[in-house]
Amino acid sequence: MAEVLNVPPSLIRKLDELSLRYDELESQLGDPSVLSNSAKLVSLSKEKGKLDQIVGQYREYCKATAQAAELRELIGNRADPDMAELAAEELPAADAKATAILEALKDEFVAAEDNAVDSFFLEIRAGTGGEEAALFARDLYEMYRRYCEQKRWRFDTSDYSVSERGGFKEAIVNIKGSSAYRHLRFEGGGHRVQRVPETEAQGRIHTSAATVAVMPELPDVKIDINPKDVEEFGCRGGGPGGQNVNKVETGWYISHKPSGLQFKMTEHKSQTQNKERAWALLRATLYEAERSKQHAQATSARKAMMGSGDRSQRIRTYNFPQNRCTDHRLGGEGGGEKNFNLDQILAGQLDPLITALLDLDKQQRLEEL
């Protein structure tokens, strides 16, 4: 165990537990009975792979703190003043190294669960405001598309519904990429826009809204769905803006009667693939709903600050007249809110905003320990 100062003891305990589990996995992976069981071998290898980074960093941190402790002992050695002087010179660098590893370790620790998700669905729906809300929903769609393009993440439109003026009544996107879920998981909630609509003759500012839901696709999670509760059939496919509209039924429609959920998948040219994606989205949506219900009380304090992902909750305001984007979760200790340049945000330059949310999430998770 590392000798640490100003680090939550519970964090060190958890890291010690992960380190012990890592050693257990290494031992099991060398067991002949495991090597002959392909399913168990794959499962244990996956678990070990998820721990490689964080356990490696923790062991580096333990070495760094041990070296710093040795230098402190040498500084107090009056029998060898030259060695004590040399140790005093080396100590600041040793402390700086340990601190740097610790900060990276904290980041890895809080992000580990999120980074395990490599595919998720982003659902955008127009809220109150009619046609203007649909146009705003499309603005959000384009904002996320540009951000994912900059990050080189896959951004596949699974389903969409266009309004009369070219807005989106709804759009469902499948996003894949390293750390993509970690960066976009806080987008769930209500997004409000304040601007003068194109149809407003007197220049009055209107307020409209759209909602965003973020649902991880977790292949290891089993959701029991009774086939009798599902209605499904083939349909025609297409793409945003009307491109690639098919005259044959390559899309797939699915409806889950108990929940009222309905999805249409058209992203692939193969109906079989669209059917698989429709079922994946249904499972992800049902899983997220159940997970939110089960963890509502356990995470209530953190959700109050970070946002629960509830679609009725307003998390951000996009004010066009003032060219200001305000995230209502980022107020400082004295209250208030943090603003960002709206033009840059809509252009997909979300890093400053998302970095602030990640820092807040890190602080909250460590405090919960």
Residue 36 lies in a domain: yes
Residue 242 lies in a domain: yes
Structure tokens at 255: 């409806």
pTM of the model: 0.69
Cα–Cα distance list, 154 to 124, 178, 352, 354 (Å): 17, 10, 21, 19
CATH number at residue 262: 3.30.160.20
CATH number at residue 107: 1.20.58
Contacts of residue 181, Cβ cutoff 8 Å, sequence gap at least 6 = 114, 115, 117, 118, 120, 175, 214, 216
Nearest partner of 225 among 255, 269, 268, 249, judged by Cα: 255
DSSP per-residue codes, 13-68: HHHHHHHHHHHHHHHHHT-HHHHT-HHHHHHHHHHHHHHHHHHHHHHHHHHHHHHH
Which of 17-31, 82-96, 240-254 bottoms out in mean pLDDT, i.e. has the lowest?
240-254
Cα–Cα distance list, 337 to 166, 187, 326 (Å): 33, 17, 7
Residue 253 lies in a domain: yes
Q: State the chain's mean pLDDT as an integer.
A: 83
Name the range with the highest mean pLDDT among 111-115, 237-241, 343-347.
343-347
* Rounded distance between C-alpha atoms, residue 113 and residue 235, angstroms: 36
Q: Which pLDDT value is given to residue 305?
A: 39
Number of domains in the chain: 2
* Rounded distance between C-alpha atoms, residue 369 and residue 367, angstroms: 5
* Rounded distance between C-alpha atoms, residue 181 and residue 93, angstroms: 35
pLDDT single digits (tens) 78-112:
788 888 889 899 999 999 999 899 888 888 888 87
Domain boundary among 243, 267, 289: 289
Q: Note down the domain range covering 29.
A: 9-115
pLDDT single digits (tens) 296-349:
543 443 444 344 444 456 899 999 999 999 999 887 554 456 899 999 999 999
